[in-house]
Chains A and B, each alone.
Chain A
Amino acid sequence: MALGRVGAGRFATSAVAWLAYLIMLAPIGAIVWLSLFDSDIIAIPPPGYSLRSYQSMFASGNFIASFRLSLVVAVGATVISLALGTLASIAIVRGKFPGSDILASVFLAPLAVPGIVLGLAIYIFFFKVGAAIGIRIAGTMTSLILAHVVLTLPWTIRFTSAGLTTIDKNLEDAAMTLGAPPLRTFWHVTFPLMRASLVAAAVFAFLTSYNALEMSLFLVGPGMTTVPIVLLQRVSWNFDPSVAAMATVQVAISAVALIILTRLVGAERIFGGQRSS
């Protein structure tokens, strides 16, 4: 503020802001710090630092398996969710039909339901449907992917809609007057212009699915487990540096995703603020 006056008020707000950032980032910092401990147990202060917990992380039984499942489910859910979401946002943004606004809100509804409740509901539903038609649905990878699709759809729709609305319709009209039928217009004009938001949507959907805990709890069948679930169990019962290492890998993935997202979309836009630069 061009006031040029330093007062107690400014000091206080700065102090609180520092505190806020500390509270927000301390747990992440703690985990990363823990992962570098050169010991088998969590003892503070640590005897030394090393990357040994990362090595033992690979050795621990279900890490590789859970990593693989989380990855497969996330990729599957992202692909489906992106395809469905893109189509849906074209319908909402460019389509003019009665109830398009209501539909847009309905599509965002899954965000309002607690993950546990949604997971439970889907589990019970699939169980019953499976029992009725004689195939086991609940507890299969398909059911897991489907549940994650529901989880990620609001985000893919939100990102792709945002990207679509910023495209000047005149560009599409220009293409059409130059002889391109709708499908080709989409492919040559709309799609490339949407690329940034499509990638952002994919990254965000992937991360949401990869991070999902409550949605997966009910739907993992015997022998299946995802990374967040493993983390939860290990932290509850057997919290050692290799768990921290596993968690740090999660943190790293999130960091990469964040960098990609901010490059593409701009920090504040992700959660609905105004882009300031």
Chain B
Amino acid sequence: MSNDARQAWQLGWLAAPTCIVLLFSFVFPLALIARYSVNEFVPGELMREALTPANYARFFTDDLFQRVFATTLGISLASSFVAVLVGIPTAFALRRFSPRWRSVLITLLLFPLLVVTVVRAAGWVALFNERGALNSFLLALHLTSEPVRFLRTAPALIVAMASSLLPYIVISIDSVLQSVPRELEEAAMVLGAPPHAAFRHVILPLILPGIVTGFVLSFILSMDAYATPLLIGGSAIRMMSPMIYVQVSELQNWPFASAISIVLVVTSLVVSGLITMAATQKKWR
């Protein structure tokens, strides 16, 4: 091996510390909970070694957990969908600005992402509360006679989640949109396509990958969400991440919590894969 090649090869060793850290703090722990997910839970005894599918079975057959699963999937899909619906026009609106203003607007978009989810969720609580900003506004304008219950409803949660997801979607679509030259739109119009037809036949197929990426990312983030469902959904809308915490902190049921964790990760991956595959099949006109 030449000197250069050997040097390049040796540089690989620099990654070793990181590998070790990840091995012990990421790979092994995950492997462990995968293993524990098939252990048996005995109240009082923490855990008994076993190879039982009981935890998974319980999750999928028990009424309560079936609902939690369905809720998590439903809210995640709905939030991502709303975010995409609102995000696409927003990305298009961004195109109209000069590069300087675009930068400002995108920075503004990134700002919420750097703020702790808890703080943003708290903000929604302040807005949605019975004595919160939104209700005060409605009452003051005499649009309702009594405070409306926003908290612990699905629409409120979806809005709060969508607000966290929007930046990802807009950036994802925007970066793809940048690579579509204006001339394609112009060519379509000169050939007789009114703006909506130009969008449908020319632009949409080309930005679809960006939309799909944004949607999948949003979906995964929603599935994993903790603080927002906890504070906005409360006891009425229960999702999997908060559930995992409860199982450990209040019930000390490690095996079951592990099982739910594995289900969460696998479901996210599977559904994302399905969506990506489905989207790349269709629309190519």
- Which residues on A are within 8 Å of B, measured CB to CB? 1, 7, 9-10, 12-14, 16-17, 19-21, 23-31, 34, 42-45, 84-85, 87-88, 90-92, 94-97, 100, 103, 106-107, 109-110, 112-118, 120-126, 128, 146-147, 149-150, 153, 157, 182, 207, 211, 213-214, 217-218, 228, 231-232, 235-236, 239, 243-244, 247, 250-251, 254-255, 257-258, 262, 266-268, 270-274, 276-277
Judging by beta carbons under 8 Å apart, are A16 and B90 in contact?
yes
Judging by beta carbons under 8 Å apart, are B11 and A95 in contact?
yes
- Residues of chain A within 8 A (CB-CB) of B127 are 26-27, 30
Of chain A, the residue at the smallest CB distance from B257 is: A120
Judging by beta carbons under 8 Å apart, are A124 and B29 in contact?
yes
Cβ contacts B92-116/A at 8 Å (1 or 0 each): 1111100110110011111111111
B window 209-244: CB within 8 A of A: 220, 223-224, 226-227, 230-231, 241, 244
Within the complex, which residue of A44, A106, A114, A153 is in contact with B241, where a contact is CB–CB below 8 Å?
Answer: A114
CB distance from B26 to the nearest CB of A (A): 5
- Residues of chain B within 8 A (CB-CB) of A30 are 123-124, 126-127, 133
Given contacts A13-B89, A232-B227, is CB(A91)–CB(B11) below 8 Å?
A: yes
Interface size on B, residues (CB 8 A): 98
Judging by beta carbons under 8 Å apart, are B11 and A258 in contact?
no
* B276 at interface by CB-CB < 8 Å: no
- Residues of chain B within 8 A (CB-CB) of A232 are 118, 227, 230-231
Within the complex, which residue of B32, B136, B159, B231 is in contact with A236, where a contact is CB–CB below 8 Å?
Answer: B231
A231 to B120, CA, bound (A): 11
Judging by beta carbons under 8 Å apart, are B9 and A243 in contact?
no
* B132 at interface by CB-CB < 8 Å: yes
- Residues of chain B within 8 A (CB-CB) of A267 are 103, 106-107, 110
- Which residues on B are within 8 Å of A, measured CB to CB? 5, 7-15, 17-19, 21-22, 25-26, 28-30, 32-33, 36, 86-87, 89-90, 92-96, 99-100, 102-103, 106-127, 129, 131-133, 136, 159-160, 162-163, 166-168, 170-171, 174-175, 178, 182, 195-196, 220, 223-224, 226-227, 230-231, 241, 244-245, 248-249, 254, 257-258, 261, 264-265, 268-269
Judging by beta carbons under 8 Å apart, are B168 and A271 in contact?
yes
Given contacts A116-B224, A271-B110, is CB(A214)–CB(B241) below 8 Å?
A: yes
Within the complex, which residue of A26, A231, A266, A274 is in contact with B118, where a contact is CB–CB below 8 Å?
Answer: A231
- Residues of chain A within 8 A (CB-CB) of B196 are 9
**Number of A-B residue pairs at CB separation under 8 A:** 300
Judging by beta carbons under 8 Å apart, are B119 and A124 in contact?
no
Q: Residue among B10, B30, B123 with the most chain A CB within 10 A?
A: B123
Add 19 more A-B contacts to A268-B171, A277-B99 (CB < 8 A).
Answer: A13-B89, A16-B86, A24-B109, A26-B123, A29-B123, A31-B123, A97-B11, A110-B22, A110-B26, A117-B265, A122-B29, A207-B114, A211-B116, A213-B227, A217-B245, A232-B231, A235-B125, A254-B114, A270-B110
- Residues of chain A within 8 A (CB-CB) of B8 are 94-97
> What are 14 A-B pairs at a CB distance below 8 A?
A14-B93, A26-B163, A27-B112, A27-B119, A27-B120, A27-B124, A114-B226, A114-B268, A149-B21, A150-B21, A150-B25, A157-B18, A213-B117, A268-B171
- Residues of chain B within 8 A (CB-CB) of A97 are 8-9, 11-12
- Residues of chain A within 8 A (CB-CB) of B94 are 17
Given contacts A28-B123, A232-B227, is CB(A84)–CB(B93) below 8 Å?
A: no
